[in-house]
Structure 1
């Protein structure tokens, strides 16, 4: 009787692993998305793809709040204080403060998404240029595009002159592709 029970353990284990492997559900453990409700809310408010917001957050902080980078970028979306202050003023978002941006993921996501909308308006919805500008600043990206250093396409991302930005764009695109494969909807 004991031998019969042992014979079923391995096939059952293989069956369970197979079911997990062939469903996309297990991939959400590898590529989790935090703060889904807040991302969805701000995505709807500012008409920005929620997977793009999630991908930027993943690359910036891996969904860990209250981060401050070596250069002073704040919170879950790593906003520079000057950029955040400007976005608060331009977006007429007086309830947001730099201190709240650092410690409150919902406030940070709101300001970061507003900024992505602003960049998207500047770059005619060229998502790759928006991502590059989020990292290197819109002035740099406009210069690269105007001078022909980079054409704003993924095929030529190697032409981005700042290595950190080149790598940043590639990583955001990678996570965006993973998220859109793993999650049918947001």
Structure 2
């Protein structure tokens, strides 16, 4: 059997490699564009900046003007109710949901909301899964999954929404990646 010549194959492989490298570079560069806001929100609300950044990565892929199907807005995909809670707690006057397109406001509101659920988590061994599940699926579902569990591991096992379980696990994994990358920053 005679093999067919494919002179275009090396060119296609080279284009794919260059393209994927360009995508990687763009994502890495874009993910750093909000680090100042992330660090500030982390300091104000005593939250790990790596977790905040991982939530932003999962929610919007760092797109400031991202809009969700249920009315979520901005980097952290904040909904009206959460935004209004934040604005009331922080005594922000004349707030409306459209302000969440502003990256700094969005990161502050989202971090405040995530911290709220972190403080209310029933599992002191690792409160983050509960907070992430509440952020993603709502506090009612998170409380339901937390009922009669003794650890965050049991809690994660009880999450019966595959998308929420994936959300919790992927945000934690990405946060660990961000922590590792800031512990050993790249040298120029």
Structure 1 CA distance for aligned equivalents of residues 72 and 91 of structure 2: 21
| Conserved? CA contact 1:33–1:54, under 8 Å | no
| Conserved? CA contact 2:145–2:158, under 8 Å | no
Instruction: After superposing the two structures, state which structure 1 stretch, 92-101 or 174-183, moved more.
Output: 92-101
Assess, with a 3 A threshold, how the Cα gap between structure 1 residues 30 and 167 changes in structure 2: closer, same or farther.
farther
Residue in structure 1 matched with residue 11 of structure 2 by the alignment: none
Gaps of 5+ in 1: 1-25
Residue in structure 2 matched with residue 182 of structure 1 by the alignment: 181
Residue in structure 1 matched with residue 10 of structure 2 by the alignment: none
Structure 2 CA distance for aligned equivalents of residues 158 and 146 of structure 1: 12
TM-score by length of 2: 0.74
Structure 1 CA distance for aligned equivalents of residues 105 and 35 of structure 2: 14
Could you say which structure has the greater relative contact order, defined with CA pairs below 8 angstroms and 6 or more residues apart? 1
Residue in structure 2 matched with residue 142 of structure 1 by the alignment: 143
Residue in structure 2 matched with residue 5 of structure 1 by the alignment: none
The answer as to 2:48 corresponding to 1:49 is yes
- Superposition deviation, residue 86 in structure 1: 2.2
Residue in structure 2 matched with residue 109 of structure 1 by the alignment: 107
1:32-47 to structure 2, matched below 5 A, reads 32-47=31-46
Q: Deviations over 1:12-69 (max 9, x none)?
A: xxxxxxxxxxxxxx9x948943311111111101101000000000000111111111
Instruction: After superposing the two structures, state which structure 1 stretch, 109-118 or 119-128, moved more.
Output: 119-128
Structure 2 CA distance for aligned equivalents of residues 177 and 88 of structure 1: 30
1:4-153 to structure 2, matched below 5 A, reads 29=28, 32-94=31-93, 96-101=95-100, 103-123=101-121, 126-148=127-149, 151-153=151-153
TM-score by length of 1: 0.75
Gaps of 5+ in 2: 1-24
Q: Deviations over 1:151-186 (max 9, x none)?
A: 422x76343111111111111012112111111189
| Conserved? CA contact 1:66–1:75, under 8 Å | yes
SS in 2 for 1:170: helix
User: What RMSD over aligned residues (CA atoms) do the two structures have, in Å?
Assistant: 2.5
Structure 2 CA distance for aligned equivalents of residues 31 and 172 of structure 1: 18
